[in-house]
Structure 1
């Protein structure tokens, strides 16, 4: 699975990388621009105060006129109030738009995750995706609202202020400018070091989130096997690696802060000595020297903030890279340019010379599915049996295009499933998995997940739900605290395995597809409940084409015919009795299934 990916030499420059955010920011650029203008006006007002101070020192203070001093002080007060107003306006202009950009990126990111194929989610750790979704996108919002605006404005403020410093004397301005030049070289080196550390830190944070998520979801296993200390040790190692990376980041920031504080202080000292010398020579007045240092003091915060804002920008650039790694992932399972339609679905499902191998299985000697030919007639129930690893579950993922075939084709009523829109295809093909996944919603919402055509709470929706629950023998929901309105909790872990499977089966039945694919959905049921579910399913499946993966001999009795899968190939198709008579491998498979079922019954009796 994808974990930590270090930056590579061919990556985009920081400005070009951050420019990829423009499509998201475009609607709010006017507001962001007004925020930047407000911040710039605030800085210009701050820079004007030393000019007023020069006039006050030269005039009212030198002459001792109290009236003029009052007016000068009032002017400085007004400039200060206007500066504060501009700062408030800057925040008002940018905060709303920045949160809107954050919302749009997060919504687009989630939509992208939904559209990307299952093969993408097989390769990516959920913690990495979660850290990108939450931490990285939030960082971009803070950078747009604060870092970007202040970086631009502070650079402009430094430029304007430096020019104004030359107004009093060229020597003082030159000293200040020369002392600031090393900052640009330090910033260049800082980008090289900090950019790599920022990426490493954010990737390690994603790995740490994955560990937490896995531990929380697997807490029952960890407790049952007494592996809590092992999990803690692994987590501690990852947390320590992240801590060391953060320390290296802090050291890099500390170095640039050292120069950001030292160089202005050196400039102040040199300018003070030069200024006193110029006053003695009569080339500079005391009022001008005071104004110069007032201006230099105003410039100190913008200069000191450059290091923080620069590191913030590099963090935002890394966050942008990580987010667009997901946006840039190729989606291989998409709607066709000219989709076909099935007006009256009959449910004929055909596998024609189907080959399949996973993308990361390039060294595999042969395909996992190696030339599957199988025809399911409309309304027929086909059981799929085979030993572990023969490819049964893989085959069930192809009709609904959870994966695409790598050779051959799968057709529904004579139409290649790749020629149908995903929306239409998944309306015609429903699935129930052995590993039943439920959502933190009510029982009603989980069962009716595939029926967005029904009005929630309508009599028709209630009837469909009740029928599906009846077929799945899931009447236990009425005993829950709030019945079908009970929120069943994260992934349904508050329910037993059999209860989760019955709700997942009810969800598939409620969708009323023309083709129903069942990947051993009854494995967690006891024998008596399984028999009841099978009897109810016979009534449902008489008009529905069904492909049922069987891990129990009793499940085979549901089927009109049985397909034997052996090493990725269909080696026999026929009725249960025919295959028992003609296929030695089928008798071996059924015998192994009977042995497993006997062991399960023995465990049930012991319990």
Structure 2
């Protein structure tokens, strides 16, 4: 019950206070710290009391020695039993209580709660990034940074809070206690504090810089390894295990070298602090003994000075590692925020409305677009698609067909012009509502590494089993789904398909994709080589289902295999980002233009074709 109470202090799934996390280190820390400040305030208070108890214990050791020297044994417990009992209560009750509270706050509240909250919010933010964001980085490296940033941010904050009170309380109380015994005992400690601060001032920035480099190299290595595993089929097909090993070898070598450079700084700092600590022990103990020989301090003061100095020396080594850990973690956070805190390039307008599709008319109004290149991929394109019209997009590779579809889905923002659906500018509506009204079947179907059921329910999450099986039968997927199974013994709709659906054939993945879009039943349908992965027999079998699927919908179909779209209402031929020709199959053949040449290549072959 006590554990559960502490585990509920932080709401893991609370909404982020702002849409985007800050892009600088300190504001990035404060962004998350503000959300959990009560837990850290409690940790500060508990840490303060715990540090004071530790100092009181060492201080009372000096008093015990002096009491033993000045009180006869027969009267010792009678005269001092009360304060001894009180100290026993402090050590046996209060100290365990506050250490327990510290551990509960760290291990039950902050470690799991804050870490998961940071990962949840960062994951949600990164999910809103544009397609371009994911195309420009390793998926493994993005995931690594999301995972490591939560851990590193939490660890550095907890370490800083723990170190803060120990440093302040021990430094201040030790100076006070030494000054009370004899002011000269303060001299070695003050000299040590100055030297210690100089070491930290010199080494810590270097530790941080090297840690950033090491973290970047570690993220790059993770991305390299995940990239190889993700594309393991390509690796096997090209028999390039040795080449992949060399690629990984270079990444591991770089990561090892960067880690070694960081470790050099840590080792140098360790040696410097150890030398300073030796000077503190020798200086303080020697001075205390000399003061005792001059009858200026008591034996208890020697014990106090020696005990506190040894405690400070041990603590200084711990603080050194803590500081090193803090800045190593800050380096990881800095590496992570460079990915996490990137601004989202495709965003909804403030108070964006939901797209309402009544008829399904689509208009491209003088659309311009490029991928950051000088040459425009889409250049001043105008196209009006009537409600319920079936359009075939044709053109050579690089003509802009897939780009045009991506722009309709608003996976990228236009450089110029507008795209309208039923008169509504898609830039003014929410992306979720836009894509909810468009069903798409792609050539390279990628499935989630989940069950068949979960993949199908992406089309309509609330669909019943009866609706699922209806879509499955219409897509002719009922021939193979009942026979599927996985190594965990799950079968049929519950069988998992592997990463990106690798356990299924291309035709099977395509039929799952078609069933998913059938289930979605959106008023606008996009087909990008929808039947390219199917053999002729299966394609013929589901052609009727596709015709049913297209009925009453506005359809845009991309096809390189021209025979699959000759029955469309209109064919639009693209070339170099512009519309070259528009018409029916017969009309375009009669013009003897680009479409006629493409048709000749496919039906007559390349030999002898102009």
TM-score (norm 1): 0.89
Report Cα offsets for 1:241-264 as digits up to 9, x if no partner.
Answer: 111211222221112122222212
Which of 16, 41, 58 is matched with 1:50 structurally?
A: 58
Give the whole-Å Cα distance in 1 for the aligned partners of 2:336 and 2:361. Answer: 42
SS at 1:397 equivalent: helix
Which of 461, 465, 473 is matched with 1:462 structurally?
A: 465
Say whether 1:265 aligns with 2:278. yes
Question: 2:91 matched to which residue of 1?
Answer: 80
C-alpha contact 1:382 1:563 (8 A) present in aligned 2: yes
Q: How far 1:205 sits from its partner (Å)? A: 1.2
Question: 1:65 matched to which residue of 2?
Answer: 73
Alignment of 1:350-365 (within 5 A): 350-359=363-372, 361=373, 364=374
Q: How far 1:199 sits from its partner (Å)? A: 0.9
Which of 591, 594, 598 is matched with 2:600 structurally?
A: 591
**How large is the RMSD of aligned CA atoms in angstroms?**
2.3
Which of 148, 152, 158 is matched with 2:160 structurally?
A: 148
Which of 188, 208, 217 is matched with 1:195 structurally?
A: 208
Question: 1:217 matched to which residue of 2?
Answer: 230
Question: 2:412 matched to which residue of 1?
Answer: 403
Which of 30, 33, 45 is matched with 1:25 structurally?
A: 33
Say whether 1:432 aligns with 2:435. no
Question: 1:233 matched to which residue of 2?
Answer: 246
Give the whole-Å Cα distance in 2 for the aligned partners of 1:114 and 1:502. Answer: 27
Question: 2:12 matched to which residue of 1?
Answer: none
SS at 2:500 equivalent: helix
Report Cα offsets for 1:42-74 as digits up to 9, x if no partner.
Answer: 221121123212222112244451662794776
Q: Structure 1: which 5+ runs fail to align?
A: 1-15, 599-607
Which of 33, 39, 44 is matched with 1:36 structurally?
A: 44
Relative to structure 1, the CA distance from residue 437 to residue 565 in structure 2 (aligned partners, 3 Å threshold; closer, same or farther) is same
Question: 1:490 matched to which residue of 2?
Answer: 499
C-alpha contact 1:348 1:378 (8 A) present in aligned 2: yes
C-alpha contact 1:46 1:80 (8 A) present in aligned 2: no
Relative to structure 1, the CA distance from residue 433 to residue 68 in structure 2 (aligned partners, 3 Å threshold; closer, same or farther) is farther
Alignment of 1:151-162 (within 5 A): 151-160=163-172, 161-162=174-175
Give the whole-Å Cα distance in 1 for the aligned partners of 2:438 and 2:604. Answer: 33
Q: How far 1:17 sits from its partner (Å)? A: 2.5
Relative to structure 1, the CA distance from residue 595 to residue 358 in structure 2 (aligned partners, 3 Å threshold; closer, same or farther) is farther
Report Cα offsets for 1:62-114 as digits up to 9, x if no partner.
Answer: 44516627947766554433333322211112333312221211111111111
Relative to structure 1, the CA distance from residue 431 to residue 164 in structure 2 (aligned partners, 3 Å threshold; closer, same or farther) is farther
Give the whole-Å Cα distance in 2 for the aligned partners of 1:78 and 1:249. Answer: 45
TM-score (norm 2): 0.89
Q: How far 1:218 sits from its partner (Å)? A: 1.3
Report Cα offsets for 1:586-606 as digits up to 9, x if no partner.
Answer: 1222233447899xxxxxxxx
C-alpha contact 1:127 1:208 (8 A) present in aligned 2: no
Which of 474, 480, 484 is matched with 1:480 structurally?
A: 484
Relative to structure 1, the CA distance from residue 397 to residue 169 in structure 2 (aligned partners, 3 Å threshold; closer, same or farther) is same
SS at 1:554 equivalent: helix
Give the whole-Å Cα distance in 1 for the aligned partners of 2:292 and 2:149. Answer: 54
Question: 1:532 matched to which residue of 2?
Answer: 541
Alignment of 1:101-250 (within 5 A): 101-144=114-157, 146-160=158-172, 161-250=174-263
Question: 1:345 matched to which residue of 2?
Answer: 358
Question: 1:604 matched to which residue of 2?
Answer: none
Q: Structure 2: which 5+ runs fail to align?
A: 1-23, 486-490
Relative to structure 1, the CA distance from residue 276 to residue 533 in structure 2 (aligned partners, 3 Å threshold; closer, same or farther) is same
Q: How far 1:340 sits from its partner (Å)? A: 4.4
SS at 1:329 equivalent: coil
C-alpha contact 2:146 2:340 (8 A) present in aligned 1: no
Q: How far 1:266 sits from its partner (Å)? A: 0.9
